[in-house]
Amino acid sequence: MTDEVFATVLDRVSRVPGVRGVLVVDAQAGVPVVAEVEDGVADSAVAALATALFRRAARAAEGSEFGHLDALQLEAEGGHVVVAGAGELLLVAVAAGDAQLGLLRLEVQRAVEDLW
């Protein structure tokens, strides 16, 4: 994986209106590999907690015989978190409540394809 790929991924997703942070995370360790986040977004905490959530959801999906979990979206009062798996990596996007979610999900999906 080259720095260029990471830069492209971060750039692609962070351009979506309303996105406050994008992180590529080591899916095993739950620590950021690269990140581009606004002030006020705690990148290490987001990486750790999003990884834990994704792993739990993946286990729940497998336990429910839904198969492999590709992505999950957390909706909260103040914003959204989208997490998508890319092998040993996870892509995490943090977005404001008024972000363009459809576009964000599309760009996350494309970015994940770049990461594979």
Contact 94, 37 (CB under 8 A): yes
Q: Which is nearer to other proteins, 15 or 59 (CB)?
A: 59
Cα distance from N-terminal residue to C-terminal residue, the chain? 9
Give the footprint of other proteins on residues 73-92 (CB under 8 A). Answer: none
Contact 42, 112 (CB under 8 A): no
Give the footprint of other proteins on residues 8-67 (CB under 8 A). Answer: 25-26, 28-31, 44-45, 47-49, 51-52, 55
Q: Nearest 5°: phi and psi at 94? A: -110, 125
Q: Which is nearer to other proteins, 92 or 111 (CB)?
A: 92
Q: Where along the sequence are the contacts to other proteins (CB under 8 A)?
A: 25-26, 28-31, 44-45, 47-49, 51-52, 55
